[in-house]
Structure 1
Amino acid sequence: MDRLLTFITITLLFVGNALAGEPPVYTSLLSNTGAGGYDTVSYFESDAPVKGSARHTTEYKGATWRFANADNLARFEADPTRYAPAYGGYCAWAVSQGYLAKGDPKHWAIRDGRLFLNYDEAVQQKWLKDPEGFIRQADANWPTVLE
């Protein structure tokens, strides 16, 4: 009886999550941290992003966001849509193709004041061949691709 109850509980959890669609922010399976724990404000400030600290965090769209310092945290909280990655940090190229894939914070670009993440180096090279076209496609697909 205990096994049956456990099976039913697990099944309901999976079905409930499937019916709810995908979360609006990509986080890894074992973490609820957006952008892999990188300070998303730092992408706009230097040539290389920096990891955020557990001392400077905020919640946004169901995920925890980390920042290198209190100033960057305050900037994000004042305007999260400016600093959060496009498409919730999912791979920008994948969204342009109509599906979701993880975004890797090490493969990124800023275009027109927006932060875009891609799955890996090879995917980013595809995306960089026509970023404006892929952005138009991804904007059209988002957020229905979450469903």
Structure 2
Amino acid sequence: MKSFVNQKNTFSSLFTLLLVMFSFQAQAKNAIYTSFFSNVAVSGYDTVAYFTDDKATKGSSQYSTEYKGVKWQFKNAENLAAFKQAPEKYAPQYGGYCAWAVANNDTASGDPQQWTIEDGKLYLNYDASIQAKWLKDKSNLIQQADNNWPAVIR
């Protein structure tokens, strides 16, 4: 009898966990992409450095700010100040979600190592193979993504 009760409790716990997971999926996504267990934008990469250093550079929690409800990290005080002065200029398009996915009316995580600056705007892609697709038709994909954003997160 004890074994049956344990199995029933285990099943009940698993069922509850599945319900919680599905309820998270049904809710609107955050406007800024962060990983499931984090509240840090762009996986902690310095978004200003893409523009100033032309490379993906990890930020530091020492130089951080909150913007749109999430934490943003930078490599130094100068980049932090630049972001605070003009966050819309430096924040990635589509909240850091994969630009190719948004263009295809979906969402996926953006990889800070797979990035492009086009017309002064930062775009992230899911991985190298998706970025290759993105680069072949950037202009049209940006137009499609602009039309789909922000409806894809609602």
**For 2:58, which of 51, 55, 75 is the aligned residue?**
51
Q: Which region of structure 1 is more displaced relative to structure 2, 125-134 or 44-53?
A: 44-53
Q: CA deviation at 1:19?
A: 5.3
CA displacement 1:29-57 (0-9 Å, x = unmatched): 12111011000000001231211001011
Q: Distance in 2 between the 1:10 and 1:77 partners?
A: 39
Which residue of 1 is the match for residue 46 of structure 2? 39
Look up the SS of the partner of 2:50 in the other structure. Answer: helix
Which residue of 2 is the match for residue 134 of structure 1? 141
Q: Distance in 2 between the 1:47 and 1:83 partners?
A: 13
Look up the SS of the partner of 1:93 in the other structure. Answer: helix
1:121–1:62 CA distance, 2 compared to 1 (3 A): same
Q: Distance in 2 between the 1:8 and 1:78 partners?
A: 47
Look up the SS of the partner of 2:88 in the other structure. Answer: helix
**For 2:124, which of 114, 117, 134 is the aligned residue?**
117
Which residue of 2 is the match for residue 84 of structure 1? 91
**For 2:102, which of 95, 106, 124 is the aligned residue?**
95
Q: CA deviation at 1:118?
A: 0.1
Q: Which runs of 5+ in 1 are unaligned?
A: none
Q: Sequence identity of aligned pairs in percent?
A: 49
Structure 1 or 2, whichever has the larger Rg, is 2
Q: Which runs of 5+ in 2 are unaligned?
A: 1-8
- Residue 105 of structure 1 pairs with residue 118 of structure 2: no
Which residue of 1 is the match for residue 76 of structure 2? 69
Q: CA deviation at 1:17?
A: 4.1
CA displacement 1:9-40 (0-9 Å, x = unmatched): 86886576455400001111121110110000
Q: Distance in 1 between the 2:127 and 2:80 partners?
A: 27
